[in-house]
């Protein structure tokens, strides 16, 4: 289980602190259920790249049953959701899915995930609120 190695945000306060306190790096939070197979697979990828992206991204996981505080605000209705924040600002990313607020599909390729994070980070540092992902997923793709 990958998620045991990534820092868990166990309360709404911890989620807020992670988002607010990071001045230079992108904050990446996987929202979902630690027991969910899709989350576990995503966590494995995030864990494997966490060290490689640590200079520009801080990666966390948050169980939405344990911490339901953001479920409504961020519309966390999917099994697995990855969201990005930079300097306390929600970063949007266009994956071709029609939902630019979050990543809700599994990215199993480590380099693809690194590319996504680099793209979001580069856009964020240039003051953009929305970037286009190098990895596109079409609406009807599974």
CATH number of 2-132: 3.40.30.10
Contacts of residue 15, Cβ cutoff 8 Å, sequence gap at least 6: 9, 29, 60, 62, 67, 69, 70
Integer angstrom CA distances of residue 92 from 13, 21, 28, 37: 22, 19, 12, 25
Share of the chain above pLDDT 90, in %: 89
Structure tokens at 76: 């966390």
- How confident is the prediction for the chain on average, in pLDDT? 93
Whole-number pLDDT of residue 122: 98
Give me the pLDDT at residue 137, please: 87
pLDDT per position as a tens digit, 119-136: 999 999 999 999 999 999
So what's the pLDDT on residue 2? 41
Domain locations in the chain as residue ranges? 2-132
State the pTM of this model.
0.94
């Amino acid at each position: 289980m990958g998620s045991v190695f990534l820092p868990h945000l166990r309360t709404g306060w911890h989620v807020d602190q992670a988002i607010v306190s990071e001045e230079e790096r992108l904050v990446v939070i996987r929202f979902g259920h630690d027991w969910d197979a899709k989350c576990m697979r995503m966590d494995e990828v995030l864990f494997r790249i966490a060290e490689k992206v640590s200079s520009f991204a801080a990666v966390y996981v948050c169980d939405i049953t344990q911490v339901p505080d953001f479920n409504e605000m961020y519309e966390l209705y999917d099994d697995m959701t990855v969201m990005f924040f930079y300097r306390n600002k929600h970063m949007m990313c266009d994956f071709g899915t029609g939902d630019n607020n979050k990543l809700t599909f599994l990215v199993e390729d480590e380099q693809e995930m690194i590319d996504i994070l680099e793209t979001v980070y580069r856009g964020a540092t240039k003051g953009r609120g929305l970037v286009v992902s190098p990895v596109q997923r079409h609406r009807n793709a599974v």
